[in-house]
């Protein structure tokens, strides 16, 4: 496929909540630019999103930034967990991806998501805006991870956490080494709280901001 005029997507409004098939119109997107590419095959089987959400401690009323949200795989799930009194900020460097997520979120019936067009070197999140800054499979895309993480720190509220989810580098080149991520995050002013390596394919590293 070189062009896609409409993509059929299974959109989940929550984990095991109602499931509906919807048409997501994405006419300007080429197949390569369709963010659903991040959900090929059995993403739930690979990703275990319920486990991730429990591991990062996301609960109702919290605020979380889904940095580099792609097609909104985690955004819609986060929106369901934090509820109407909580907030999700979906960011990406691609405006078309944010448009895609907007439609997906609306179809799932959520109205607690905000959108920010990030810069390559700048997350552009307001200071002290979130309890969790969450990056899933984004870290290895960052051209200057040290600068990016330095700019992310002030976005955390007091006691907030930076969470980096990455595939293990030993499994795929689209991944990172735990020690490299921890080293850069610490240089950027974060303090490691925990690394969860219990999953087969990916790790979850949580940091506090040393400036807190
Ligand atoms: C592999 S996808 C992951 C998408 C999503 N986080 C997920 O888990 O499905 C990487 C995403 O990061 C975005 N991205 C790359 N560099 C970025 C940056 N500097 N700031 C924000 N988003 C970025 C890409 O446009 C893409 O949507």
Q: What angle do helix axes 145-152 and 178-187 make, rounded to 10 degrees?
A: 60
pLDDT at 29: 61
Identify the segments of the chain with pLDDT beneath 50. Answer: 1-27, 212
pLDDT in tens, 159-171: 999 999 999 999 9
**Residue 143 exposed, middle or buried by CB count within 10 Å (0-12, 13-18, 19+):** exposed
What string of DSSP letters covers 100-156? HHHHHHHHTT---EEEEE-BTTB--PPTT-EEEEEEES-GGG-SSHHHHHHHHGGGE
Question: Does residue 168 line the site of ligand 1, with CB under 6 A?
Answer: no
Question: Does residue 70 line the site of ligand 1, with CB under 6 A?
Answer: yes
- Closest-CA residue, ligand 1 atom 8, reads 136
pLDDT at 212: 47
Q: How far, in Å, is the centroid of ligand 1 from the Cα of 160?
A: 21
Which residues lie closer than 8 Å to 104 by C-beta, 6 or more apart?
9, 11, 24, 71, 72, 75, 76
- Closest-CA residue, ligand 1 atom 22, reads 68
- Tell me the pTM: 0.89
Q: What angle do CA 61, 151, 170 make, to 5 degrees?
A: 85
pLDDT at 3: 28
How many beta carbons lie within 10 A of that of residue 150, not counting itself? 16
Q: What are phi and psi of 112, to 5 degrees?
A: -115, 30
Question: Does residue 69 line the site of ligand 1, with CB under 6 A?
Answer: yes
pLDDT at 32: 72
């Amino acid at each position: 496929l070189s062009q896609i005029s409409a993509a059929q997507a299974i959109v989940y409004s929550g984990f095991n909540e109602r499931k509906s098939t919807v048409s997501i119109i994405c006419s300007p997107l080429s197949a390569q630019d369709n963010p659903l590419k991040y959900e090929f095959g059995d993403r739930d089987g690979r990703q275990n999103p319920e486990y991730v959400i429990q591991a990062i401690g996301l609960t109702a009323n919290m605020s979380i930034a889904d940095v580099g949200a792609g097609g909104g795989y985690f955004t819609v799930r986060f929106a369901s967990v934090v509820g109407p009194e909580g907030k999700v900020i979906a960011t990406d460097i691609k405006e078309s991806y944010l448009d895609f997520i907007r439609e997906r979120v609306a179809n799932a019936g959520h109205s607690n998501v905000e959108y920010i067009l990030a810069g390559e070197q700048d997350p552009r999140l307001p200071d002290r805006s979130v309890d969790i800054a969450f990056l899933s499979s984004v870290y290895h895309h960052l051209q200057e991870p040290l600068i990016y993480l330095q700019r992310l720190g002030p976005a955390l509220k007091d006691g907030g956490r930076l969470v980096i989810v990455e595939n293990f580098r030993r499994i795929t080149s689209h991944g990172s080494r735990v020690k490299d991520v921890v080293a850069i995050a610490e240089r950027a002013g974060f303090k490691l709280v925990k690394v969860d390596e219990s999953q087969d394919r990916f790790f979850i590293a949580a940091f506090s901001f040393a400036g807190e």
